[in-house]
A and B are shown apart, each in its own frame.
Chain A
Amino acid sequence: MRRAFAIARAEMLILRRNLWLFMATLIMLAFALALSFAGSAPTGTLGVDMLTVSVASMTTLSVYLAPLLALMMGFDAVAGDRDRGSLALLLAYPAGRAEILLGKLMAHLAALAVAMCIGFGAAGAVAAWFGGAGAESLLALGRLVLTSILLGAVFLVLGYALSALSSGATAAAGLSAGVWLVFVVLYDLGLLGAVVMDSGGVFTQKIFPWVMVANPADAFRLWNVAASESVALSSGMAGAASALPGWAAPLSLLLWPALGFLLACAAFRRVEP
């Protein structure tokens, strides 16, 4: 564990030095603020405070942005060191491969957490200042930040796995883009197509919600939506959320990082530098 912390400290230094931390925070801040202001229009018609609307639109934002930022950090984790030629030396030291990945995960997760807290926090503060906030909407904001970090963790470990499996950093970047596209865009499109084809049959009733919650990006959306009625109202996802037991989405979002980490470790163990 001491070794994992040593790796994490060095990785954190690297993230600060190459301005990654700064850029990620800036991106989160810019998008969250822009969405908060742009999304403030329907407040009156739905009868909820502005922070609730803001959280709903930021949830949609986070589905795209959190996996993207996480994959951008993750894809380089193993392949970058191997391309540079520094992996063999690192592995010659008495640190287990799981320890190395854990160290990187801690640093990357901390960086994501900083970006999320500052970005969503600032946007939430602005929305609350201008449009009011209640206990429920504050809770929703906290949930959004936490689940966004969890969603980031999923794609960080998936990025590590791809990084270990691919032949180089460039290939890993390409694979990461593919994974992002599949999980965030194509998966939903496919499900939508299936639902349309099925036109309200058994698939739509029984299977569809479970297939949907199996995708971490959708689980993230469902968790935020199901937990807050008013967010569900303003994001229009109440239907799918109500068909599932309340534990389904949290379970999916907690299981994915753990399984993904095991997968990444297994892939990393096969690497011969």
Chain B
Amino acid sequence: MDNSPLQIRALDKFRGKTQVLHGIDLDIAPGERLALLGHNGAGKSTLIKAVLGLIRHEGGSIRICGAAPGSAAARAATAFLPEAVSFHPALTGHEQLSLFACLAGERAEIDGLLQRVGLGEAMHRRIGAYSKGMRQRLGLAQVLLGRPKLALLDEPTSGLDPISRQDLYAIINELAEQGAAVLIASHALTEVEARTDRIAILRKGVKVADDTLAGLSAQAGLPVKLRVQASGTHADRIATETGGRRINGASVEILCSPQDKMAELRKIAAMGDAVADFDMVPPRLEDLYRHYSGEDSK
């Protein structure tokens, strides 16, 4: 238990007089991928910097594999990809990665690593000539140095094209399979939805949710959306019978709780020919996020 990759207890952080993190508890197990969601300014980056030991925290405790943040053991166990990562433009990708390998004390295979992230061709060009996506890839390459036990990725997909994003998640999965605990702070909800094991949501420095996607759905009790397309002029009839809402000439939208879903379905099936088509939309992470991050509640 003591050696869990990341263990945060009752973490408080003040910036001046304002409290930016309120009693955060967070654990990540080896091999687990955790998505950390929240608005800009919700405290995601602050939390990551506190874990890295770059900023001091006022209350609570952080343990990385049992070590204090910022200690040599903790830094050796941690890999970090900052938001909008940048490097000195005068160095080449190969030189920059060699420097990091040396700082980490790793005899890593630099060329292979750069090829792995798709920078094989550009490794001897200066970083100043790299595109944003290429810099992000270089940032990812340094995450892979030396088999980290904890990987902290701050907005890892910003500036990447869709193919690169797929590559990125393939690499993240590889990291997790090797036993690293991966924390991904992100805005890209649809991406992390299918690619993480657990989701934590920060709102104004408070952790408001921390569960699997299914668990969050069940807790939130958000309505399932049923969309019925009427044939001919039956739309009005369907709307009055089901208590739904006409959304255009021929369609009706019904919101019902997950428990009532089957009952509604039977009702619709009984209408026979009046129904031309039918769709069911379960709550997405986006709806859950909105629910937990406070746009919907009260």
Whether B75 and A88, one on each chain, are in contact in the complex, defined by CB atoms closer than 8 angstroms, is no
A84–B81 Cα distance when bound, in Å, is 15
Whether B103 and A88, one on each chain, are in contact in the complex, defined by CB atoms closer than 8 angstroms, is no
- Of the candidates A14, A89, A91, the one having the most CB atoms from chain B within 10 angstroms of its own CB is A89
Whether A94 and B84, one on each chain, are in contact in the complex, defined by CB atoms closer than 8 angstroms, is no
Whether B102 and A3, one on each chain, are in contact in the complex, defined by CB atoms closer than 8 angstroms, is yes
Whether B104 and A94, one on each chain, are in contact in the complex, defined by CB atoms closer than 8 angstroms, is yes
Whether B90 and A17, one on each chain, are in contact in the complex, defined by CB atoms closer than 8 angstroms, is yes
- Nearest residue (CB) in A for B89 is A84
CB neighbours (8 Å) of B95 from chain A are 10, 13
Count contacts on B: residues with CB < 8 A to the other chain: 30
CB neighbours (8 Å) of A95 from chain B are 103
A12–B82 Cα distance when bound, in Å, is 25
CB neighbours (8 Å) of A91 from chain B are 52, 54
Whether B88 and A14, one on each chain, are in contact in the complex, defined by CB atoms closer than 8 angstroms, is yes
Whether B82 and A89, one on each chain, are in contact in the complex, defined by CB atoms closer than 8 angstroms, is yes
Whether B84 and A93, one on each chain, are in contact in the complex, defined by CB atoms closer than 8 angstroms, is no
Whether B87 and A86, one on each chain, are in contact in the complex, defined by CB atoms closer than 8 angstroms, is yes
CB neighbours (8 Å) of B292 from chain A are none
Count contacts on A: residues with CB < 8 A to the other chain: 24
Whether A6 and B80, one on each chain, are in contact in the complex, defined by CB atoms closer than 8 angstroms, is no
Q: Mark out the residues of chain B between 57 and 107 whose CB falls within 8 Å of any chain A CB in the assembled complex.
A: 72, 75-76, 78, 80-82, 84-88, 90-91, 95-96, 99-100, 102-105
Name 18 A/B residue pairs within 8 A (Cβ), A-sorted. A3-B105, A10-B95, A13-B91, A17-B91, A17-B126, A84-B86, A84-B87, A85-B85, A86-B86, A86-B88, A88-B49, A88-B54, A89-B80, A89-B142, A92-B54, A94-B103, A272-B55, A273-B54
Known contacts A10-B95, A14-B91; 11 additional CB pairs below 8 A are A6-B99, A9-B99, A10-B96, A17-B91, A84-B86, A84-B88, A86-B88, A89-B80, A91-B54, A92-B78, A92-B80
Using CB atoms and an 8 Å cutoff, list the residues of chain B in contact with chain A: 49, 52, 54-56, 72, 75-76, 78, 80-82, 84-88, 90-91, 95-96, 99-100, 102-105, 126, 139, 142
Using CB atoms and an 8 Å cutoff, list the residues of chain A in contact with chain B: 2-3, 6-7, 9-10, 13-14, 17-18, 81, 84-86, 88-95, 272-273
